[in-house]
Amino acid sequence: MPSLAPTSLFAQTRNPSAKANKVIYLYMSGGMSHMDTFDPKPGADEQGPVQAIDTNVDGIKISEYLPSLARQMDKMALVRSLSSTQGAHEQGQYFMHSSYTPRGTIQHPGLGAWMHRLDGRKNSTLPASVRIGGSSRGSGSGFLESKFAPLVINNPNDGLKNSKRRQGMSEKEFKDRLDLASAFDEEFHRRYNHKKVRAYTDMYEDAIRLMKSEDLKAFDLNKESKDVRDEYGDNSFGQGCLLARRLIENDVRFVEVSLGGWDTHNNNFDSVSRRAGDLDQAMATLISDLERRGLLEETLVVLATEFGRTPRINENDGRDHFPKAFSGVLAGGGIKGGQAYGVTDETSSNVLDQRVSVPDFNATIAHALGLPLDEVVYSPSKRPFTVAHKGRPVIDLLA
């Protein structure tokens, strides 16, 4: 007989006064070296040439590669005790984004899709979630309908491609064609009145609404001054962060921006210093830009990666995959800044205290957003799933 203590049936994990309602999710693709960024261990042999510098919070040091972020430390909460079970890129990325490990039988939705599904969209003309660069592993709509999938933008400088009417086509011609198309579809829709069929119609309607929307300007980085564009950094990640800010400002709820190239098996210190330079400039600017607009109160900025890298420096002067202990960052809406949560040992190899699993990390994000962690959503095959897969939110990280 199982001796389970009967749990409270209708536990209110919902947090109605959650402060954040939008997310900018910065994804460090390839596995960001935690020792060389947010969890340095000055003096350890494994540290290599990287120095640790003071931040604007007493007692917290981060890598010298991140000087601007060091000055924003009071707004950020470092999570130094992340621990994953997936040591390969594809599986790790999928796990980090969806909170579920990959299975053969189902695709799980990412956080953006969950947020849209559980809490709706805010701006009815712009998509609820947008992904700038990066891969779709675990960040798509999964088993949910395709309307919950993020809009993908590969190059932030191009904005939203193909969002204008074809040249020479008048408004009326366009409308006539749409009417014709829906006349063709009518019989099919009547006969197969299914969710998936309707989802296609929704998609077309969304696209047309977006084409006509004033908010389409949000995708156009040319509307920003040169100064602001340079402030974020003249690289794809920096411009992606700027685009993310513009979209968030126009009530898109979830924007993911990817920064690749962290898979530093060779020549770790050179590569990391370059990546970290881009990251430092873009993320620090993003935080201060959100702050001066008053958006940081309601926008949660997340920095995540699939795993850390081995403290041991390999023969190619690189570091290899290391899911056992690594770091992430939460900042802004709903987060208690100026803290480093979790402790690793003297070589950043083991979590000593306050281990945060990947579902816990995502549950913390979901909780800060006020998403119901216990709300079961059924897949079309009627299997039950929850956002963050039963992870427990880390209350100490929340404001």
List interacting residues with other proteins (CB under 8 A): 1-7, 9-10, 12, 14, 16-17, 105, 119-120, 122-125, 193-196, 213-215, 251, 291-294, 297, 370, 372, 374-376, 378, 380-384
45 neighbors 66 (Cβ within 8 angstroms): no
Smallest gap from residue 285 Cβ to other proteins (A): 12
Pick between residue 36 and residue 289 the one whose CB is nearest to other proteins.
289
Distance of CA 390 to the CA centre of its chain: 19
Residue 296 CB, nearest approach to other proteins (Å): 10
Residue whose CB is less far from other proteins, 5 or 183: 5
Tell the smallest beta-carbon distance from residue 23 to other proteins (Å). Answer: 17
User: Which among 226, 258, 263 is positioned nearest to 153, based on CA atoms?
Assistant: 258
Closer Cβ to other proteins, 32 or 252, answer by number: 252
Least spacing, CB of residue 292 vs other proteins, in Å: 4
Sign of CA dihedral 166, 172, 178, 181: negative
To other proteins, the closest distance from the beta carbon of 167 in angstroms equals 26
In 3D space, the residue among 230, 237, 217 whose CA is nearest the CA of residue 160 turns out to be: 217
- Closest separation between CB of residue 241 and other proteins, Å? 18
State the minimum distance, in angstroms, from the CB of residue 310 to other proteins. 33
Is the Cβ of residue 165 or residue 195 nearer to other proteins in the bound state? 195
Amino acid at 271: S
Whichever of 166 and 292 has its CB closer to other proteins, that residue is 292
**DSSP structure class, residue 303:** E
Instruction: For other proteins, give the closer residue by CB, 144 or 325.
Output: 144
- CB nearer other proteins, residue 3 or residue 162: 3
Cα–Cα distance measured from residue 309 to residue 318, given in angstroms and rounded to the nearest whole number: 9
Compare residues 193 and 222 and give the one whose CB is closer to other proteins. 193
What's the closest the beta carbon of residue 156 comes to other proteins, in angstroms?
A: 22
Q: What's the one-letter identity of residue 58?
A: D
User: Which burial class, exposed, middle or buried, applies to 126 when counting CB atoms under 10 A from its CB (0-12, 13-18, 19+)?
Assistant: buried
Closest approach, Cβ 380 to other proteins, in A, equals 6
Nearer to other proteins, 12 or 167 (CB): 12
Q: Which of 33, 31, 72, 37 is nearest to 51 (CA)?
A: 37
Which CB atom, from 14 or from 312, has the smaller least distance to other proteins? 14
- For residue 36, the 8-state DSSP code is T
Separation between Cα atoms, residue 225 and residue 229, nearest integer Å: 6
Contact 371, 342 (CB under 8 A): no
Of the chain, the end-to-end C-alpha distance in Å amounts to 41
Gap between the Cα atoms of 397 and 338, Å rounded: 10
Task: Kindly state the smallest distance separating residue 363's Cβ from other proteins, in Å.
Answer: 15
Q: What is the largest CA-CA distance in the chain?
A: 74
Nearer to other proteins, 235 or 288 (CB): 288
In whole angstroms, the minimum distance from the beta carbon of 122 to other proteins comes to 7
CA torsion sign for 362, 368, 369, 373 is positive
Distance of alpha carbon 327 from alpha carbon 66, whole angstroms:
14
Quick one: which of 298, 297, 299 has its CA closest to 241? Answer: 299
3-state secondary structure of 246: helix
What sign does the dihedral 263-268-269-271 (CA atoms) show?
A: negative
Q: Report how many helices (DSSP H) and strands (DSSP E) the chain contains, helices first.
A: 9, 17
The single-letter code of the amino acid at 109 is: P
Which residues 6+ apart lie within 8 Å of 9 measured at CB? none
